[in-house]
Structure 1
Amino acid sequence: MSTLDGTVLVTGGAGYIGSHTVRALREAGRDVVVLDSLELGRREAVIDAPLVVGEIADKDLGSATCNEHGVTQVVHFAAYKSVGESMGSPGKYWRNNVAGTAELAEACIATGVHDIVFSSSCSVYGTPEIVPVTEDAAIDPESIYAESKAMVERILYWYGQTSELRSVSLRYFNAAGASFDTRIGEDWTYSINLVPLAMKAVLLKDRRLQVFGDDYDTPDGTCIRDYIHVNDLAAAHVKALDYLGNGGETVAVNLGTGIGSSVLDVLNATAEAAGEEVPYDMAPRRAGDPVSTFADPSFAEATLGWKAKHDLTEIVQTAYTWHKSQLDDGR
């Protein structure tokens, strides 16, 4: 039986990108089971997939879940992801992101699961010397969060050398947006990303956004990033599972649009979606913020047959519609 005929285990599948990927997998006809602690995830985001509540570090639970549900492939999202928190609480990140992944890999190997798609990050590159960023750029993490992602990539590589495990590490650029039907989106409660913060500023009317630095060597003086729609990211995970199911070898792949958008580009797009300006103040630069970083997505297209479909306008419009719907529902 092909691994594509079995169930996909999605760890962290009740989170933001995880829940969109669960939905994409279900729409592709795959059976899915979600493993999530629900510390940061939302039960309702899983929609119709079975949910197992627990930790990835629980090897026995991981093994039992794989056996019970006939798991043949894994998509691994379950991780803490705050750069600032990682620098203040490093042990939390080493234990969950790194040691927890080792236990998950052991559970997979013990139950004959050999395909893992890992949610990595462009932060493994640190401040890239050359943009657009290709996969052969130097790995140079600048935070414990980023280091934990880089370490997991290496852990999966070495499991591939010592077992039949094969992996695709997807190095995301800046995930944003929401589902087009407003069914699921990004909970802004804990998010420190620009798009949800801009939405808070324009919708809640009780705060002003801080823009860190307007004196960079960019067209408008603000930092440039590669924003990618969460639905495009979800589609890439489906493609990565297909790649592994068809015999693909372990690889790391950038996921981005190849287009850089500045902070002010995002705020202007938000104003267009909302019909009003985003209230903001300029603040000094933050230490460690790269001036400009965006992906060269050509390897993803060549390897996975994947290319981003949605632009910044769609990203911001779906995010705005989602967040407004949550306020309208009283959430």
Structure 2
Amino acid sequence: MIAVVGGAGYIGSHAVKHLIEKGERVVVFDNLSNGHRELLHPKAAFFQGDLASRSNLEAFFDQYEVDSVIHFAAFAYVGESVKQPAKYYRNNMANTLNLLDAMLKHEVESIVFSSTCATYGNPVKLPIDETHPQQPINPYGRTKLMMEHMMEDYASAYGMRIAALRYFNAAGADLEGEIGEWHEPETHLIPLVLEAARGIKDELLIFGHDFDTKDGTCVRDYIHVMDLADAHYRALIYLRENSENLKLNLANGEGYSNLEIIQMTERITGRKINYTLTGRREGDPAILIGSAAQAEKLLGWKPNYTLEQIIESAWNWHVKKWEEKV
């Protein structure tokens, strides 16, 4: 059985759906602080628990015969991590240590870790590949990098098998519209643009319009959440069949500017989006594009969904969620 820690969150819930479609038995471990009961899969078992509680973890691993873990349960707001670093070090690092210790005690040897391109920091070359220096510039990125190091050390000392997947901008929703991106507060560009398209957001701010890019706005690499779910599944299979650990990027290898996202969303939704160009945010690189050549080589993985499909699937989810509330 696979334990998906954080399986009631955005990416975790999509991974659960994909795993179940692949015939895997899944149990979700989540404290629902950022996740949602509505995103829980009906065919997955659910244990409401907190990684901060060693007794919760003990009860969980006693109850379920888990053979591998996928770990999504980290805080992930860059700005918040700067203002509240203690919150991030406590949850992302200390709680992961609790998880690793519980796995060790119960002889669970494999873990796939939802890492991030934020471990790289400001790019010194593009596209960013796995040889790029890891020099994170905020507490969020630093905690994720230290989580990688913790897992590497446990792998070296105790024989665990680990896969750290560093991905770029997750976006979109499952194509059936059953689950989607649901953050409170929302900080990601595509859902914010969709909220503006629906007229429920008064002001859409685009930070920075004087970058050295095609139209002056930031360029980012977007990847569909179901592509990410598939990569986590493939990494899990790899760990089952190989003794080698993995550290891989997940990316499309193409960049789209903020204004291109707005223009494409206007075409897809048929709605005019009002936005305001404002000053840069501190620490925002002009361009972030990743290379996933290693993931294709080792996992046979590459993205299946275009940016149009990302935005269309996200729009369908947002409209459905909106209509259910009306």
Taking structure 2 as the reference length, the TM-score comes to 0.97
Matched, 1:96 2:91: yes
Residue of structure 2 equivalent to 1:3: none
User: Partner amino acid for 1:304?
Assistant: L
User: Partner amino acid for 2:225?
Assistant: V
User: Partner amino acid for 2:153?
Assistant: W
Matched, 1:28 2:22: yes
Runs (5+) with no aligned partner, structure 2: none
User: Partner amino acid for 1:178?
Assistant: A
User: Partner amino acid for 1:239?
Assistant: R
Q: Structure 1 residue 208: deviation in Å?
A: 2.1
Q: Secondary structure in 1 aligned to 2:47?
A: strand
Q: Secondary structure in 2 aligned to 1:195?
A: helix
User: Partner amino acid for 2:314?
Assistant: A
Residues 170-319 of structure 1: pairs in structure 2 closer than 5 A = 170-319=165-314
Q: Secondary structure in 1 aligned to 2:248?
A: strand
Q: Structure 1 residue 214: deviation in Å?
A: 1.3
Q: Structure 1 residue 54: deviation in Å?
A: 1.1
Structure 2 CA distance for partners of 1:210 and 1:67, relative to 1, 3 Å = same
Give the distance between the partners of 2:155 and 2:165, measured in 1 at CA. Answer: 16
Select 1:47's aligned residue among 41, 51, 58.
41
User: Partner amino acid for 1:282?
Assistant: L
Relative to structure 2, which stretch is displaced further, 54-63 or 196-205?
Answer: 54-63
Identity of aligned residues (%): 41
Matched, 1:87 2:87: no
Residue of structure 1 equivalent to 2:10: 16
Give the distance between the partners of 1:198 and 1:30, measured in 2 at CA. Answer: 35
Give the distance between the partners of 2:104 and 2:245, measured in 1 at CA. Answer: 15
Q: Structure 1 residue 69: deviation in Å?
A: 1.7
| 8 Å contact kept, 2:172–2:310 | yes
Deviation >6 Å, runs of 4+: none
Runs (5+) with no aligned partner, structure 1: 1-6
Residue of structure 1 equivalent to 2:32: 38
Residues 97-136 of structure 1: pairs in structure 2 closer than 5 A = 97-136=92-131
| 8 Å contact kept, 2:128–2:289 | yes
| 8 Å contact kept, 2:220–2:287 | yes
| 8 Å contact kept, 1:188–1:197 | no
Q: Structure 1 residue 188: deviation in Å?
A: 4.2
Give the distance between the partners of 2:323 and 2:38, measured in 1 at CA. Answer: 17
Structure 2 CA distance for partners of 1:206 and 1:44, relative to 1, 3 Å = closer
Q: Secondary structure in 1 aligned to 2:67?
A: strand
Give the distance between the partners of 2:217 and 2:186, measured in 1 at CA. Answer: 21
Structure 2 CA distance for partners of 1:248 and 1:227, relative to 1, 3 Å = farther
Give the distance between the partners of 2:78 and 2:243, measured in 1 at CA. Answer: 32
| 8 Å contact kept, 1:17–1:234 | yes
Matched, 1:139 2:134: yes
Matched, 1:60 2:55: yes
Per-residue deviation, residues 186-223 of structure 1 (Å, max 9, x unmatched)? 11432201011111111134412111111111111111
Q: Secondary structure in 1 aligned to 2:68?
A: strand
| 8 Å contact kept, 2:34–2:183 | no
Q: Secondary structure in 1 aligned to 2:3?
A: strand
Give the distance between the partners of 1:43 and 1:147, measured in 2 at CA. Answer: 30
Matched, 1:75 2:77: no
Q: Secondary structure in 1 aligned to 2:325?
A: coil
| 8 Å contact kept, 2:171–2:222 | yes
Relative to structure 2, which stretch is displaced further, 29-38 or 203-212?
Answer: 203-212
Give the distance between the partners of 2:36 and 2:200, measured in 1 at CA. Answer: 26
Q: Structure 1 residue 68: deviation in Å?
A: 2.1
Give the distance between the partners of 1:154 and 1:96, measured in 2 at CA. Answer: 16
| 8 Å contact kept, 1:9–1:35 | yes
| 8 Å contact kept, 1:63–1:108 | no
Structure 2 CA distance for partners of 1:209 and 1:248, relative to 1, 3 Å = farther
Q: Secondary structure in 2 aligned to 1:329?
A: helix
